[in-house]
């Protein structure tokens, strides 16, 4: 059974930074391409960032390019999302997800999901 547990969310002011972490257990994280998604109240879940199994390929939603950085440490079975210059519109529950397939921006293609961590950016 694969489990993903996110941490690092919280309340931050506009322009601040947060670092989210996703701990993977049950299988080695190198088995999966990983992604971060978010869901704001009343909105659909949307792609934020993705990373290939080896970490050599990363990609981002246009709205976060240059401000967010996804990384992975396969030795520690973790995936991280460094977020800087946060804006109120970044407020959402952030989810970590794993796919046995290729890296993707499409939520239905992910096999495992964490419970999410709340990020709130005050203006």
Q: Beta 33-39 vs 18-25: how paired, if at all?
A: unpaired
Helix (H) or strand (E) holding 21: strand 18-25
List beta partners, residue 119: 10, 92
- Residue 89 gets the label, from left (phi > 0), alpha (psi -120 to 50) or beta, of alpha
Question: What is the per-residue pLDDT for 29?
Answer: 86
Closest CA to 68 of 95, 49, 87: 49
Gyration radius from the chain CA atoms: 13
Interval 35-87: pLDDT, tens: 999 999 999 999 999 999 988 999 999 999 999 999 999 999 999 999 999 99
Cα 93–Cα 86–Cα 10 angle in degrees, nearest 5:
45
CA 115, 39, 91, 112 torsion: positive or negative?
positive
**pLDDT-based confidence at residue 30 (cuts at 50, 70, 90):** confident
Q: Are strands 10-13 and 117-122 parallel, antiparallel or unpaired?
A: parallel
Question: Regarding predicted confidence, which is higher, 93 or 31?
Answer: 93
């Amino acid at each position: 059974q694969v489990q993903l547990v996110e941490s690092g969310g919280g309340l931050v002011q506009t322009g601040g930074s947060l670092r989210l972490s996703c701990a993977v257990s049950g299988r080695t994280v190198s088995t999966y391409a990983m992604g971060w998604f978010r869901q704001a109240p009343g909105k659909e879940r949307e792609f934020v960032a993705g990373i290939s199994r080896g970490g050599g390929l990363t990609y981002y939603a246009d709205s976060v390019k240059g401000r967010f950085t996804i990384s992975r440490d396969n030795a520690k079975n973790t995936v991280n999302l460094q977020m800087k210059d946060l804006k109120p519109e970044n407020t959402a529950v952030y989810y970590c997800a794993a796919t046995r397939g290729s890296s993707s921006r499409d939520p239905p293609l992910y096999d495992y999901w964490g419970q999410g961590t709340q990020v709130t950016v005050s203006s």
